[in-house]
């Protein structure tokens, strides 16, 4: 018997409602086509986010912790 199960995790941002220069960071977990989104309660400035890689730019301690 073969089963086809899927599991994915992606990180994405949304513009902050209170500050247009900040992005709120979210995670989306998908299991067998069912999605669930979770706010990570973290934010980052627009200029420090690399949308193509889905992670923060830079080498500061805070950026390293965020990317881990």
55 pLDDT exceeds 80? yes
Q: How many helices (H) and strands (E) does the chain have?
A: 1, 5
pLDDT, tens only, 15-35: 877 788 899 999 999 999 899
pTM over 0.85: no
What 3-state DSSP class applies to 20?
A: coil
Query: Per-residue DSSP letters for 38-58?
Result: EEEEEEEEGGGEETTTTEE-S
Provide the domain count of the chain. Answer: 1
Cβ proximity of 66 and 56 under 8 Å: yes
- Note whether residue 1 is domain-resident: no
How much is the mean pLDDT over the chain? 88
- Note whether residue 18 is domain-resident: yes
Question: What pLDDT shows up at residue 20?
Answer: 82
- Note whether residue 2 is domain-resident: no
């Amino acid at each position: 018997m073969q089963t086809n199960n899927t599991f994915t995790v992606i990180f994405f941002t949304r513009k902050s409602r209170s500050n247009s220069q900040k992005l709120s960071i979210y995670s989306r977990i998908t299991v067998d086509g069912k999605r669930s989104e979770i706010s990570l309660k973290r934010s980052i400035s627009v200029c420090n986010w690399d949308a193509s890689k889905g992670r923060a730019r830079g080498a500061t301690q805070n950026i390293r912790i965020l990317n881990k």
